């Protein structure tokens, strides 16, 4: 069942990548503010037409 | 047209308050005050009206007008330098704290500032911290302009010396180890499944070993990185010649790790990396849950945050702004309407009417005679005045209250530590004992088993977790219902409290909010209108109260309005001369006690139709709460106010509470210490600076917070005003929840004893121990959660 | 650092949207036809290219990779730039991605119909296309990463995380599962054999569902649901937890597709445990979606977009509840190989993927063409028809599944099987027909949408680019005190130590892997021998005709299966099966032990006219096998490839392979001649018969010799 080891390692590597991503996002403060982001996506884009 | 609109009560398009004034409307949008109207106009001409489409009435009332040169001081380099985080020759980066922000409209507007003020390049909101990060171009605009722009649209940033210096501790430091240990724990668990499920015997040795090595790999970061906390704590405790709870955890972790290594490399047998990382993971979560506190609340404000950043000091070359810190004695400073007096000083020029409610707790502003002393912290109402500084602001009478010796925070873990100390010693003793016993029998394997399993089983994580998780959950439930604690230490103190001290003004009464009764000849609608129109022009709490009491449909312009601080106001309306104020104001010559009276006399063209009497309004449900409190605690009420309310209060408390009036902040502070001297554990609830000293002195100081952005003095906890009258049930809940803790302790002890019984005999395969450990832990966590929730179910949730 | 002007490109999203719709119709049509073929076998019109065995892969691939795939790309190319306040990183890459992907789809359709298939479900495409897919996928990833790195919005919205996770994982799965050894321009053998191949296949199969059909769509949900309802997601924190817990668990849940098979028990247990754990994050996501609409149900009543999305989310909830249940062994015993699985995936495909895509399209096209939806009424009708279609599809399938189970497992008091397999097939026919009708209705709904959307596009004017502006990111946004992770490491020697530890250890592991590969440790059964050249050819024909779509080769250890098909399958029997042919659905009987059960003539007649041997059979005839000559030329390369993969053909066997082949073929045709059947020995049918007669005989033989 060597394949299990291979899949396990493959899965682990991927999971490791995700873990790294998670740590980055925490350190980057991605999740400090959980109010602004979900609301921001609802705002229309700033058009360059100025008054 | 007045009449046709007069009967429809409309809400202000900007802030949603009731509009009285029919004149304030633009394209059929009504406004309660010119302030709100101004903001709308500004936004409208910059086509920023999305602001109003995102939410209804997103604004806040803009009653008091801003002074034009209010932010002049921001032009001074060294002041600006206090605030900005970064600046080079063309850009400035600065983070403003904007407590007003409360909805997506605020978010949207604050991120579109550049449309209002060209020079602004970036404006980015951190909503949870209520902060706006702004980058602007030096060449195009200035800090002052930026701040003024924000103020103009109703988001005046809160500038003070310690916003400039404020450092928010980030939660990252805790989360990362949790993430890592959790990840490793889960994956090692997964890879160990074969060993647990190996009943088929199908598992090929090769895979088994491979998985064990991967397990080791995953265990490394847990052991070296995530578990550092425990090792370092253990070491320090050993240095201080006593065993704290961490030392036994550290040992358990260490031994499990070593044993696993031994098995892996020498015996090529099962490993227990999963249980090791399990211990670490759960411990970390527990601690994190406990340390979590309301991010947006600040518990340790010092006096600085209540003072303005700078004041104008008169110099021979006119006035120039100076940092509060740099004020010197004999400086002449300018103070304007609604400004806070930054330092103890004497009135040099102008009519001073000082609102001390925040400092002394007096609900009514005091008129000050020229040459007499004004304490820092008071708020000037009315015109511009000049003061001569007596003491530097950090030596002021108020400030001294802060500088008073900090009450030694009672160590929450004391009990736990004592317990754990014995516990740890016992565990070590047992482990060693059994080890030696088996050694003497010469049964090395059994010895090894006994050694490891005993430690895995008896490792007091369950015990510790019971504590951390219960506390964490208690705090969660409390904050859910409006009481935010500084840290979990407070919970233990709250459970011990036996005496409760309440401040009157603003704590049990509603601030600046009066019950008004009118005695005398009934007023005609027209007269009412006259009075309201007049009272509308004063910011004095009494006239405001009267204005709201009369709830006029419309307002009429007042000619030759005149405000006599501390006495009253007068003016001409519809060619009629109207005065409202205290007795000697309306009837010159007659004597009364102007300072203390909460009576307002009405005077129209020489006749006195009657008098308004104003009483404090108490929070509803107060009476019940007080009677509840008296059941279990002794109660006292302190008031900086005059004794006018004595009767009502004694009635309310059925005379079973000590009620003291005219209490200076000093008195309050002393009163607490005197209670403590008599061996009482005191909980003090107050709102103002005047309570600050007392709050700090008392074992549990709870500050009352009106709305969610008002400033509260330093305290152990903050209770939002609408939750205040539920304080009793909150206290009851906390003491109940403590029982849960004891209960879960006993359970975990039982677990340990059962486990030990087998472990000591070396009967327990470490794998089983490894499985039992998390199992018991989780079960305990579930129990505490369940029980605390059960107790907390009665407390209703509060939006904060 | 002024406000920067830029513009969002709408051309690519438009193209992808059009592709989505087109391939959607095609794929569903293929599905409908295939569905009816099960009830009326004649529907392939006697053409080899349209038999169920070949049509079904076309259907699955078209729907998954063409319809759903393009839908995902539409969503990504529309939402990603807007979420990051920057146009896609490189427009050329976008174009290559689009046209490349469509090309792949066309190639896939052709090759599959022509019979070029690896036989691995949802990975049937042969090696050249596999490579093409890899290339295009990488291009997509590069474009996405480039966009993220040049973004103007610091925060990565949760949808983006879902997109990214999908990309990374699918890349890995595709590569690992496509390890194959080409032996001709269009054909290859899987790198893994038997049990191993099955495990990789379902590790892939499950995660393909997870990371191609689920996570990208969750990303879409988190973007389009709030947009359509114009209110923020119910709990952003929950959505973040949802994401991380989901991806950390999903990866491991694969093995549950192989319960009761020859897979090691603990691996099955692992699969089950994790599948059950999956329930929590999945439902977290569903509730998060539904709660977003709390207090806005009035909107849902008017807006067809929301209607579609809501039902999609509910279907997601149902499917993610059903999934874990199906991974419970005793439930799986009933569902596996039956139509239950089919119903389960179609709840997901029709409900979750289909409806969410429709919702997106109805929301998107009016915006792309700067107009109103042509007819809301029509859209609502589509919604109703579609829902009806799903119900009409799912209910008969569930019913059929239980009926199958009870008939299959029924024994007479004497301990005899109560029903012949053919009886079961007969009783299934009406259900198959009903299911076909359900599918048709669903398809009609889609056609309504097509009309509606075309009208919408006509009524408006296409907005090729949307102008926008935003400030670039500022370096010092976060407080200056925050250190870069690298300096963090330098400051923490311990951390450094740990990382180096890990680095070394990973190296060590990588070295270990080969040793595992060499030391194959599936208990080998002495009597199991490699296939003869002729059987090898026959096996390839079996694969080419897609027999594994209806016939399994894996007998589970249940009394009623052993009694019906013979001794249950052992892992050791499959060591030479490159790839495995266990199959996942039993429309026809299991063939693991068909060898020697019937005379050659039976197979001959059966393949020529199934109903002649098995009255009421729904299997189509395969006349072309009787005309086509066997391509002997490829024999050597096949043998060669097999040896490379570790099949013990002795050196230089190629020399005599063809001779052996001819000999065996001749034997069979002589054998048939005895029963008055004239067939030249060089026909494909001969090879196929050889293979069928070989199946499962090794162990039987050993049993005999054992006695």
pLDDT, one tens digit per residue, over C249-283 is 776 655 555 555 556 666 677 677 777 888 888 99
Contacting residues for B622 by C-beta, under 8 A, at least 6 apart: B508, B652, B725
Q: Are B214 and A9 a contacting pair at CB < 8 A?
A: yes
Tokens representing C218 are: 């969750």
B281: Cβ contacts below 8 Å, ≥ 6 apart: B178, B181, B182, B185, B222, B226
Residue B269 neighbours by CB distance under 10 Å: 15
Q: Count CB neighbours of B224 within 10 A.
A: 18
Give the separation between CA C618 and CA B626, rounded to whole angstroms: 84
Q: What is the pLDDT of residues B195-215, one digit of tens each?
A: 665 544 444 566 677 778 888
As a whole number of angstroms, the distance between CA B392 and CA B714 comes to: 21
Distance CA B682, CA B699 (A): 5
- Is residue C66 predicted with pLDDT exceeding 90? yes
Contact between chains at C516 and A5 (C-beta distance less than 8 A)? yes
Which two tokens mark B639? 């008031």
Which among B203, B214, B221 has the least Cβ separation from residue C266?
B203
CA distance B202 to chain C (A): 6
B533 or C157, which is more confident: C157
Which residues of chain B lie closer than 8 angstroms to A29, CB-CB?
A: 170, 172
Q: Angle at the Cα of C507 (from C505 to C512), degrees rounded to 5?
A: 90
- Name the nearest CA neighbour of B367 among B593, B542, B567: B567
Q: Average the pLDDT over each of B134-138, C154-158, C504-508 and give the range with the smallest value.
A: C504-508
The 10s digit of each residue's pLDDT in C77-110 is: 999 999 999 999 999 999 999 999 999 999 999 9
Give the C-alpha separation, B180 to A20, whole Å: 9
Measure the CA–CA gap between C57 and C30, rounded to whole angstroms.
10
Of C232, C248, C502, the CB nearest to B217: C502
User: In chain B, which residue's Cα lies nearest the Cα of C515?
Assistant: B206
Lowest-pLDDT range of B190-194, B501-505, C186-190: B190-194
> Is the dihedral angle over the CA atoms C151, C156, C160, C161 positive or is it negative?
positive
Nearest to C349 by CA among C320, C377, C315: C315
Which chain B residue lies closest to C264 (C-alpha atoms)? Answer: B202
Contacts of B653 (CB under 8 A, 6+ apart): B626, B630, B635, B637, B659
Q: Which residues of C541-662 form beta strands (DSSP E)?
A: none
Lowest-confidence segment of B446-450, B707-711, C393-397 by average pLDDT? B707-711
Q: Which residues contact B799 (CB under 8 A, 6 or more apart)?
A: none
Averaged pLDDT for residues C239-256: 77
Q: Hey, what are C44's tokens? A: 């392939």
Token look-up 């404006």 returns: B123
Alpha helices per DSSP H over B168-268: 172-196, 205-221, 228-239, 245-262
Q: How far apart are CA C400 and CA C340, in angstroms?
A: 8
Residue with the two structure tokens 């007479």: C412
| Greatest mean pLDDT among B98-102, B339-343, B656-660, C30-34 | C30-34
Pairwise pLDDT comparison (C352 vs B79), residue with the higher score: C352
pLDDT value of position B630: 85
CB < 8 Å to C521, chain A? 1-2
Pick the more confident residue, B380 or C101.
Answer: C101
Tokens of B323: 């940092």
> C364 and C379 in contact (C-beta within 8 Å)?
no
Residue B365, burial from CB neighbour count under 10 angstroms (0-12, 13-18, 19+): buried
DSSP characters for C202-246? HHHHHHHIIIIIIHHHHHHHHHHHHHHHTS--S-HHHHHHHHHHH
How many C-beta atoms lie closer than 10 Å to residue C328's C-beta?
15
% of chain C beyond a pLDDT of 70: 89
Q: Which positions ≥6 away from C342 have C-beta within 8 Å? A: C397, C585
Kindly give, in sequence order, each residue whose CB lies less than 8 Å from that of residue B668, ignoring residues fewer than 6 positions away.
B503, B638, B640, B686, B690, B691, B693, B694
Q: Average of pLDDT values for C318-339?
A: 88
Nearest to residue C120, comparing CAs of C658, C659, C582, C633?
Answer: C582
State residue C133's pLDDT score: 96
Predicted pLDDT at B361: 61
Could you report the per-residue pLDDT of C190-221, keeping only the tens digit for each? 888 888 888 888 888 888 888 899 999 999 99
Burial of C62 (0-12, 13-18, 19+ CB in 10 A): buried
- Tokens 């191993």, residue located: C196
pTM over 0.90: no
Angle between the C600-608 and C684-694 helix axes, to the nearest 10 degrees?
130
DSSP C583: -
For B730-768, the pLDDT digits (tens) are 888 888 887 887 887 788 778 777 777 777 776 666 656
Q: Give partners of B (≥3 CB pairs < 8 A).
A: A, C
> In B32-153, where does DSSP find H-type helix?
34-45, 50-54, 77-83, 104-110, 143-152
Rounded distance, CA B659 to CA C649, Å?
103
Is the predicted pLDDT of residue C403 greater than 70, yes or no?
Answer: yes
Compute how many other C-beta atoms are within 10 angstroms of the C-beta atom of residue C447: 14
Closest CA to B248 of B457, B469, B471: B457
Smallest CA-to-CA distance from C466 within C67, C4, C8, C3 is with: C8
Q: What is the largest CA-CA distance in chain A?
A: 69
Residue of higher predicted confidence among B32 and C158: C158
Sole residue written with tokens 């008169």: B314
Q: Which of residues 29-88 of B touch A (CB under 8 A)?
A: 45-47, 50
Q: What is the mean pLDDT of residues B219-245?
A: 83
The CA-atom distances, in angstroms, between B27 and each of B5, B24, B45, B153, C307 are 15, 10, 13, 19, 37
Q: What is the CA radius of gyration of chain B?
A: 33
Rounded distance between C-alpha atoms, residue B281 and residue B180, angstroms:
9
Residue C448 pLDDT > 60: yes
- The values of phi and psi at residue C411, to 5°, are -120, 145
Calpha distance C196→C264 (Å, rounded) = 11
- Chain A: closest CA distance from residue C468 (Å): 5
SS3 of B704-761 = EECCCCCCCCCCCEEEEHHHHHHHHHHHHHHHHHHHHHHHHHHHHHHHHHHHHHHHHC
Task: Assign B559 to helix, strand or coil.
Answer: strand
Mark out chain B residues that contact chain C at CB-CB < 8 A: 85-86, 91, 93, 95, 104, 114, 121-122, 124, 133, 135, 167, 170, 183, 186, 190, 193-194, 197-200, 202-204, 206-207, 210, 213-214, 216-217, 220-221, 224-225, 228
Contact between B179 and A8 using a beta-carbon 8 Å cutoff: no
Q: Which residues, in sequence order, are CB contacts of B338 under 8 Å at separation 6+?
A: B64, B379, B380, B381, B539
Main-chain dihedrals φ then ψ at residue A16, nearest 5 degrees: -60, -45
Cα–Cα distances (Å) from B718 to B92, B413, B473, B686, in that order, read: 35, 22, 17, 10
Q: How distant is the Cα of A4 from the closest Cα of chain B, in angstroms?
A: 8
Determine how many CB atoms are found less than 10 A away from the CB of residue C526.
9
Strands B499-503 and B682-686: parallel
Q: How far is residue C522 CA from its own chain's centroid?
A: 27
Cβ separation of C506 and B186 shorter than 8 Å? no
For residue B315, the surrounding DSSP H or E stretch is strand B310-315
Q: What is the pLDDT of residue B796?
A: 61
Strands C4-9 and B717-720: unpaired
Residues in chain A: 51
Contact A7 C172 (CB under 8 A): no
**Least-confidence region, from B245-249, C30-34, C500-504:** C500-504
Q: Is the Cβ–Cβ distance between B56 and B128 less than 8 Å? A: no
User: B172, A26: Cβ pair inside 8 Å?
Assistant: yes
Across the beta sheet with B483-485, what order do the strands follow? B483-485, B717-720, B700-705, B682-686, B499-503, B634-638, B658-660
d(CA B319, CA B190): 73
Which candidate, B572, B599, B573, places its Cα nearest to that of B587? B599
């Amino acid at each position: 069942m060597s394949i299990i080891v291979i899949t396990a390692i493959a899965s682990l590597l991927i999971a490791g990548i995700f873990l790294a991503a998670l740590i980055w996002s925490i350190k980057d403060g991605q999740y400090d503010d959980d109010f602004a982001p979900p609301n921001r996506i609802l705002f229309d884009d700033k058009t360059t037409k100025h008054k | 047209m007045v009449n046709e609109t007069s009967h429809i009560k409309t809400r202000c398009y900007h802030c949603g308050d009731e509009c009285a004034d029919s004149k304030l409307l633009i394209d059929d949008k009504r406004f309660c005050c010119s302030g709100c109207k101004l903001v709308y106009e500004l936004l409208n001409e910059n086509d920023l009206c999305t602001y109003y489409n995102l939410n209804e009435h997103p604004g806040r009332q803009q009653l008091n007008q801003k002074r034009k040169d209010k932010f002049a001081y921001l032009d001074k380099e060294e002041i600006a330098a206090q605030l900005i985080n970064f600046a080079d020759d063309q850009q400035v980066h600065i983070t403003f704290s904007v407590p007003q922000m409360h909805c997506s409209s605020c978010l949207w507007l604050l991120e579109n500032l550049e449309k209002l003020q060209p020079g602004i390049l970036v404006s980015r909101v951190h909503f949870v911290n209520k902060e706006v990060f702004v980058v602007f171009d030096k060449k195009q605009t200035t800090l002052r302009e930026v701040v003024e722009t924000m103020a103009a649209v109703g988001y005046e940033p809160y500038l003070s010396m310690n916003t400039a210096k404020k450092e928010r501790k980030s939660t990252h430091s805790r989360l990362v180890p949790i993430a890592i240990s959790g990840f490793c724990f889960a994956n090692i668990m997964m890879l160990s499944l074969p060993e647990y499920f190996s009943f088929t015997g199908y598992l090929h040795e090769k895979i088994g070993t491979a998985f064990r090595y991967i397990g080791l790999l995953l265990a490394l970061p847990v052991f070296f990185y995530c578990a550092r906390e425990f090792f370092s704590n253990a070491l320090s405790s050993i240095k201080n010649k006593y065993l704290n709870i961490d030392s036994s955890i550290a040992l358990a972790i260490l031994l499990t790790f070593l044993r696993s290594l031994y098995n892996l490399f020498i015996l090529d047998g099962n490993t227990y990396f999963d249980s090791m990382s399990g211990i670490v993971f759960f411990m970390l979560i527990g601690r994190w849950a406990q340390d979590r506190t309301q991010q947006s609340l600040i518990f340790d404000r010092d006096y600085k945050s209540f003072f303005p950043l700078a004041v104008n000091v008169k110099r021979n070359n006119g006035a120039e702004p100076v940092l509060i810190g740099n004020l010197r004695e004999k400086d002449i400073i300018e103070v304007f309407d609604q400004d806070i007096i930054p330092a103890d000083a004497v009135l040099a020029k102008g009519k001073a009417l000082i609102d001390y409610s925040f400092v002394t707790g007096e609900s009514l502003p005091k008129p000050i005679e020229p040459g007499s002393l004004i304490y820092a912290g008071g708020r000037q109402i009315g015109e511009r005045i000049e003061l001569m500084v007596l003491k530097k602001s950090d030596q002021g009478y108020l400030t001294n209250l802060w500088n008073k010796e900090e009450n030694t925070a009672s160590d929450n873990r004391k009990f736990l530590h004592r317990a754990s100390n014995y516990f740890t010693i016992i565990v070590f003793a047992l482990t060693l004992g059994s080890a030696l016993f088996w050694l003497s029998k010469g049964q090395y394997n059994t010895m090894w088993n006994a050694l490891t399993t005993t430690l895995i089983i008896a490792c007091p994580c369950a015990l510790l977790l019971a504590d951390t998780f219960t506390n964490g959950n208690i705090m969660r439930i409390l904050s859910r219902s409006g009481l935010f604690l500084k840290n979990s230490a407070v919970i233990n103190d709250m459970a011990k409290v036996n005496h409760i001290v309440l401040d009157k003004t603003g704590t049990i009464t509603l601030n600046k909010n009066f019950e008004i009764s009118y005695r005398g000849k009934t007023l005609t609608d027209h007269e009412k209108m006259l009075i309201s129109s007049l009272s509308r022009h004063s910011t004095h709490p009494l006239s405001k109260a009267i204005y709201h009491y009369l709830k006029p449909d419309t307002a009429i312009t007042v000619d030759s309005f005149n405000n006599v601080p501390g006495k009253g106001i007068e003016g001409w309306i519809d060619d009629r001369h109207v005065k409202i104020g205290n007795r000697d104001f309306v009837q010159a010559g007659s004597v009364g006690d102007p300072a203390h009276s909460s009576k307002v006399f009405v005077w129209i063209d020489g006749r006195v139709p009657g008098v308004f009497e104003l009483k404090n309004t108490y929070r509803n449900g107060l009476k019940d709460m007080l009677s509840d409190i008296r059941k279990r605690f002794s109660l006292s009420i302190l008031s900086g106010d005059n004794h006018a309310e004595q009767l009502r209060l004694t009635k309310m408390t059925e005379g079973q509470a000590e009620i003291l009036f005219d209490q200076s902040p000093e008195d309050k502070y002393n009163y607490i210490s005197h209670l403590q001297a008599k061996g009482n554990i005191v909980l003090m609830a107050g709102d103002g600076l005047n309570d600050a000293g007392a709050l700090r002195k008392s074992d549990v100081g709870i500050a009352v917070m009106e709305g969610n952005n008002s400033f509260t003095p330093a305290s152990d906890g903050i209770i939002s005003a609408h939750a205040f009258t539920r304080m009793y049930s909150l206290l009851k809940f906390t003491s109940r929840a403590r029982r849960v803790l004891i209960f879960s302790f006993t359970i975990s002890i039982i677990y340990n004893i059962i486990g030990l019984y087998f472990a000591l005999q070396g009967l327990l395969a470490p794998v089983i121990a490894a499985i039992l450990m998390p199992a018991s832990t989780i079960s305990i966590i579930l129990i505490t959660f369940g029980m605390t929730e059960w107790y907390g179910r009665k407390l209703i949730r509060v939006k904060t | 650092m002024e406000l920067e002007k830029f513009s969002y490109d709408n051309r690519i999203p438009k193209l992808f949207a059009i592709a989505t719709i087109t391939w959607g119709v095609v794929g569903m049509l293929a599905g409908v036809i295939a569905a009816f073929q099960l009830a009326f076998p004649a529907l392939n019109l006697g053409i080899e290219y349209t038999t169920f065995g070949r049509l079904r892969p076309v259907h699955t691939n078209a729907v998954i990779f063409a319809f759903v795939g393009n839908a995902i790309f539409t969503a990504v190319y529309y939402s990603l730039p807007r979420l990051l306040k920057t146009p896609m990183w490189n427009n050329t890459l976008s174009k290559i991605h689009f046209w490349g992907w469509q090309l792949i789809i066309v190639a896939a359709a052709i090759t599959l119909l022509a019979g070029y298939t690896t036989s691995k479900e949802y990975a049937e495409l042969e090696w050249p296309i596999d490579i093409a897919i890899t290339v295009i996928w990488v291009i997509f990833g590069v474009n996405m990463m480039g966009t993220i790195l040049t973004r103007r919005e610091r925060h990565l919205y949760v949808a983006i995380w879902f997109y990214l996770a999908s990309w990374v994982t699918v890349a890995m799965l595709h590569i690992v599962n496509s390890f194959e050894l080409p032996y001709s321009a269009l054909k290859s053998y899987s790198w893994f054999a038997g049990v191993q191949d099955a495990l990789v296949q379902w590790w892939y199969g499950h995660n393909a569902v997870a990371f191609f059909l689920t996570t990208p769509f969750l990303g879409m949900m988190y973007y389009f649901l709030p947009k359509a309802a114009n209110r923020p997601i119910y709990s952003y924190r929950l959505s973040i937890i949802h994401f991380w817990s989901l991806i950390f668990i999903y990866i491991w849940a694969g093995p549950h597709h192989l319960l009761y098979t020859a897979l090691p028990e603990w691996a099955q247990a692992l699969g089950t445990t994790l599948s059950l754990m999956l329930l929590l994050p999945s439902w977290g996501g569903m509730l998060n979606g539904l709660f977003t609409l709390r207090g806005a149900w009035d909107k849902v009543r008017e807006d067809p977009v929301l209607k579609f999305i809501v039902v999609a989310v509910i279907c997601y909830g149902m499917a993610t509840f059903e999934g874990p249940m199906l991974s419970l062994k005793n439930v799986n015993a009933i569902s596996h190989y039956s139509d239950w699985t089919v119903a389960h995936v179609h709840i997901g495909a029709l409900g979750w993927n289909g409806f969410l895509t429709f919702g997106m399209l109805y929301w998107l096209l009016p915006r792309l063409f700067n107009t109103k939806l042509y007819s809301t009424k029509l859209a609502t009708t589509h919604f109703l028809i579609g829902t009806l279609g799903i119900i009409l599809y799912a209910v008969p399938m569930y019913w059929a599944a239980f009926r199958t189970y009870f008939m299959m497992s029924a024994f007479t008091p004497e301990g005899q099987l109560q029903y012949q397999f053919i009886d079961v097939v007969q009783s299934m026919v009406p259900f198959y027909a009903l299911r076909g009708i359900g599918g048709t209705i669903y398809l009609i709904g889609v056609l309504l949408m097509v009309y509606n959307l075309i009208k919408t596009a006509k009524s408006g004017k296409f907005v090729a680019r949307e102008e926008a502006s935003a400030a670039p990111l500022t370096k010092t946004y976060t407080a200056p005190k925050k250190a870069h992770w690298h300096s963090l490491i330098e400051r923490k020697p311990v951390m450094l130590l740990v990382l180096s530890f890990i680095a070394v250890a990973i190296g060590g592991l990588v070295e270990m892997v080969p040793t595992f590969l060499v030391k194959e440790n599936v208990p080998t059964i002495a009597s199991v021998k490699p296939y003869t050249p002729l059987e090898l050819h026959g096996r390839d024909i079996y694969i080419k005709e897609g027999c594994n779509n209806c016939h399994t080769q894996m007998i589970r250890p249940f009394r009623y299966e052993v009694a019906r098909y013979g001794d249950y399958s052992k892992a050791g029997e499959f060591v030479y099966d490159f790839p495995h042919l266990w199959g996942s659905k039993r429309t026809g009987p299991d063939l693991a032990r068909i060898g020697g059960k019937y005379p050659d003539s039976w197979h001959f007649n059966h393949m020529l006219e199934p109903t002649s041997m098995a009255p009421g059979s729904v299997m189509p005839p395969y006349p072309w096998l009787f005309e086509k000559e066997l391509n002997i030329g490829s024999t050597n390369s096949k043998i060669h490839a097999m040896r490379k993969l570790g099949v013990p053909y002795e050196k230089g066997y190629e020399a005599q392979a063809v001779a052996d082949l001819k000999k065996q073929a001749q034997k069979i045709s002589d054998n048939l001649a005895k029963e008055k059947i004239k067939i030249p020995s060089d026909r494909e049918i001969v090879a196929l018969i050889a293979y069928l007669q070989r199946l499962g005989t090794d162990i039987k033989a050993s049993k005999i010799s054992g006695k």
